[in-house]
Amino acid sequence: MNKLNHYLESNFPGLLVKPSLYHQWSKGIHFDLAKGLYQLKSDTDDLNPEYFDTVYKQAIALFEALFSADDKIILVTNIYQNRDFVRKSNKKIKVYRHFIKGKDVRIRLGQQILPFMFDDEDDMEGKCTSQFYLECQKEDIRYPILIRAICNQDFHSLKPRLYNPYELYEPDVFFINMTKNLIYYIYDDRGCEVIASDIETIRPIYAKFESWIGDYCREEIEQRFAK
């Protein structure tokens, strides 16, 4: 068993590192990014710089609140692809080449092939998930640029963006804090999720960023922290 799977089994039993962590785990928060702002300028097709600037600042602020300099991190990336391309995937993935600073850190990159994560699709045959994982620390990650790239993924005119040669789904990036036992996942510019093995770990985050919680899930999240 690799280190990632052993860690998950010990701290997040039954959890799959895939989108919708919040719905898999009862100790978590879902945040909206740039609440009250819109992707486009009013009555135009032009992107709204204020919206994206707020998205970047909030997503980075959450990362900096969740991860300290001494924390041990596993950076996980899911690549969704056809099985025919699996052998080529470790050469084409650029998340680690572009956003991890040191070659001596990147050399520890691991990979496992998992079933296709989106089991609601009609045609799953021949598809799989290449899951890459790298143990590192905060200082090893160019996280401000990486977070911007994650948030830009649905807007081809914005840079940086995550490289996606497989044209199924955009890659998903997960920041796992092994020291604090929490996981941070930004799904795109609209929002992000934070889960923890112990809800007390993320209570300060809940208190500090409570206004960013979406109205549609606020009552449920408040109940989680009221227990």
Residue 49 in tokens:
């710089």
* Domain range annotation of the chain: 30-226
pLDDT in tens, the chain (227 residues): 799 999 999 999 999 999 999 999 999 999 999 999 999 999 999 999 999 999 999 999 999 999 999 999 999 999 988 877 665 545 456 789 899 999 999 999 999 999 988 876 556 678 889 999 999 999 999 999 999 999 999 998 999 998 877 667 889 999 999 999 999 999 999 999 999 999 999 999 999 999 999 899 999 999 999 97
* 58-85 burial code (b ≥16 CB/10 A, e <16): bbbebbeebbeeebebbbbbbbbbeeee
Encode pLDDT of 71-88 as tens digits: 999 999 999 888 776 655
Cα 31 from Cα 29, distance rounded (Å)? 6
Whole-structure pTM value: 0.94
What does the H/E/C string look like for 11-75? HCCCCCCCCCHHHHCCCEEEEECCCCCCCECCCCCCECHHHHHHHHHHHHHHHHHHCCCCCCEEE
Order of strands, sheet of 73-82, starting from the edge strand that comes earlier in the sequence: 28-32, 191-196, 182-188, 172-177, 73-82, 127-136, 110-115
Cα atoms in the 13 Å half-sphere on the side-chain side of 70: 0
